[in-house]
Amino acid sequence: MGRIPKRSLAALFIIVNMLAVVACTTRIALSRSVHRHRPRLHRYARRHHSLSSKLSFPCPLWSSSFSLCLRHPRSSPTSRSLSATCSSASASTPPIAPRAPPMADAGVESNPLLRDFDFPPFDAVEAKHVRPGVLALLKNLESDLEELERTVEPSWPKLVEPLEKIVDRLTVVWGMINHLKAVKDTDELRAAIEEVQAEKVKFQLRLGQSKPIYNAFRALQESPDWNLLSDAQKRIVENQIKEAVLSGVALEDGKREEFNKIEQELEKLSKKFDENVLDATKKFEKKITDKKDIEGLPATALGLAAQTAVSKGHENATPEDGPWVITLDAPSFMSVMQHARNRALREEIYRAYVTRASSGDIDNTLIIDQILKLRLEKAKLLGYNNYAEVSMAMKMATVDKAEELLEKLRSASWDAAVQDMEDLKHFAKSQGAKESDDLSHWDISFWSERLRESKYDINEEELRPYFSLPKVTEGLFNLARTLFGIEIEAADGLAPVWNSDVRFYCVKDSSGNPIAYFYFDPYSRPSEKRGGAWMDEVVARSRVLSPDGASTRLPIAHMVCNQMPPVGTKPSLMTFREVETVFHEFGHALQHMLTKQDEGLVAGIRGIEWDAVELPSQFMENWCYHRDTLMGIAKHYETGESLPEDVYKKLLAARTFRAGSLSLRQIRFASIDLQLHTKYVPGGPESVYDVDQRVSERTQVLPPLAEDRFLCGFSHIFAGSSSYLSKRFFKMGRGAICRCFLCI
């Protein structure tokens, strides 16, 4: 296929980003956390004195897209009405979820995971609370499940509603724990989770493979009442039946036992994979003392490197005189790749990045092989040829159609990508670069930035002062008001948070009534927070989980990013790419928060085929190029000056810069995912790295290094809750809907 217009390539790039979701056989999890609207989350103590948690779960028991779902207890006489306090909340407002008192033995009665609260007590939960809290909860949930199985009937009140409540109770507690692991990781928390993980998965399997519940869903589908159900309710039933089968409900005893062992092991392996990536990222540090070695780095990058140095014990570090510490965290890594004139430094940092978690005691190689082996075994047990077919069973696409589309996109992008490389070589040569005839991976980003600056007269670093986080969020919220008629107000102090940088917001309709809430955790914290950007469901809209039996429980979301933090007295000054990321994640959050569907199992982002979830995020991201929107957020943080009109036009013109190369990058990720989950034979003649090299021959103009181990950091398909069951119930893997492979 010949070259195609760059505008068309831009459209293809969007398609590839969506396709990556189709191909992502392990589903880029929507990380599960928990929270709820007005009532107290835990009313369970009224029935079980040893446990004080009544969570309720609005998300489908066997949800194809999500596994989280939270609950909504009822408000006590002393409970505060969020609708009344939302607009007036401030930092001085006492937190609704009180901090747990000191506990010598972390006993059940005073355990913050089990106490009655309005918002998850993120500020009070510690590792010591995990084991006693989770075990107590599971004991009581087992009793509730037994009661449901004894009394279940093929009707909505006797089947779906009590099932939601059981699942939600665990989702709320486990969601808190797992969310904290994603944003505030510690060795103690890891160990605590490992202690109870097997029991948690055991209960999930017990619940997901309940034949009385499964049979009740089938009976409901075949009953006269079927035609009385709404379309949303029918979709819930159909999804539950399909996903129950994918969770092993129809397996014979021996095969079910084997299936369950696989699920337990996959949970452990995925958790370990994720921890290894984080540990490898944290482990690398490059201390620089000679200013010549960091020539080219912009002021923001120098400030971050000096700030990092201070955090590592170099108290006198300054942006001007150093020392400077470079890490593999995205803001630091990308600054070096794009701006460091020191080619040797770029090479060192690049090689460190693409070999993360591939050696020593944090080597993910064997973990990848074992994950792929177990996924294939699971697929065979379920009657599928491969694991990709299992993943596609709840999506719109099929394996064949995904592969067909990938090849069409690859063919359409190839010539443009080849030309991109030629343009880069010619430009580097014109600048007298010795490496111009032999560009390597650590040269591409650097010379791409120089070419873009030359071609469009745009310097991304010089644009940062126009994109301060406060102005960007203000403009984003104004856009939401224009498009959806909503108001977004700061509600800091209304809900406990896990870090002082986290913001909390209330979303109101045009009449001033609260309709949703969300947390926003914007900054990179490489010592404790996983990389990437994601939107996370905390609690979904639900009629069943109404706090008072009349109104509807309101949805709550997390938005988590990893952008440049404030440096010194300056606010967070963002690259345009970081601006796009915030808009992107907000698109996911809006779909979750603005839903009007009251059936919790299909409200918002729940129950949507995974190859369709990127539509709202892409929709919002595209507004970054809308003139009025962009000019509304692009204000110099010191002078208030608007972004010059000519710069806006240059940004617009540069939108399709190197679109062919960027498309191929996404296609590589999607293709290797499909290859590993369809044709790869664990233990066979090819290694996973051989497969990657083979795929890259057709998807990369510049093949990867022989020692490239990017797969060891490919968290989107190997980390998080790898088990299908965990995805159904409690998605705690990669961030909620995320920028798919763009996060890598």
Q: If you count them, how many residues does the chain have? A: 744
8 Å CB contact between 164 and 545: yes
| CA 523/CA 497 separation, integer angstroms | 14
Q: What are the φ/ψ torsions at residue 321 (nearest 5 degrees)?
A: -120, -5
Helix runs in 535-614, H state only: 576-593
User: How far apart (Å, rounded) are the C-alpha atoms in residues 486 and 172?
Assistant: 27
Which candidate, 68, 263, 40, places its Cα nearest to that of 178?
A: 68
On the CB side of 636, CA atoms within 13 Å amount to 8
- 458 and 452 Cβ atoms separated by less than 8 Å: yes
CA distance 153 to 213: 9
DSSP 362: G
Q: Which two tokens stand for residue 10?
A: 């831009």
Q: Give the position of tokens 């009349």.
A: 550
> What is the H or E stretch that residue 199 is in?
helix 187-208
Question: Do 645 and 676 meet the contact criterion of CB atoms below 8 Å apart?
Answer: no
CB 536 within 8 A of CB 35: no
Provide the terminal-to-terminal Cα distance of the chain, rounded to the nearest Å: 29
- Contacts with 690 (C-beta within 8 Å, 6 or more apart), sequence order: none
User: In 152-284, which ranges are continuous DSSP H helix?
Assistant: 161-183, 187-208, 211-222, 231-246, 253-283
Tell me the β-bridge partners of 504. Answer: 519
Identify the helix (H) or strand (E) that includes residue 516: strand 514-523
Q: What would the two tokens of residue 225 be?
A: 């009442």
Residue 536 bridge partners (DSSP): 558
Alpha carbon 164 to chain centroid distance?
23
Contacts of 496 (CB under 8 A, 6+ apart): 95, 96, 97, 99, 119, 120, 121, 122, 123, 124
d(CA 98, CA 119): 9
Single-letter amino acid, residue 472 = V
Q: SS3 of 53, please?
A: coil
Residue 620, CB-side half-sphere exposure with 13 Å CA sphere: 28
CA atoms within 13 A on the CB side of 165: 23
DSSP state of 326: E
Residue bearing tokens 């309940």: 210
Structure-block tokens of residue 505: 């917001």
**Of the candidates 94, 78, 4, 44, the residue with the CA atom closest to the CA atom of residue 495:** 94
In this structure, the strands spanning 324-326 and 286-288 are antiparallel
List the catalytic residue out of 449, 585, 599, 614.
585
How distant is the alpha carbon of residue 367 from its chain centre?
A: 21
| Lookup: tokens for 120 | 């998850």
Q: What is the DSSP letter of 468?
A: B
Residue position matching structure tokens 């979303």? 507
- State yes or no: is 585 an active-site residue: yes
What's 702's DSSP letter? S
Question: Whose structure tokens read 């306090």?
Answer: 85
Is-contact 608 596, C-beta < 8 A? Answer: no
Candidates 523, 459, 539; CA nearest to 118 is: 539
User: Do the Cβ atoms of 593 and 586 come closer than 8 Å?
Assistant: no
Residues with catalytic function: 585
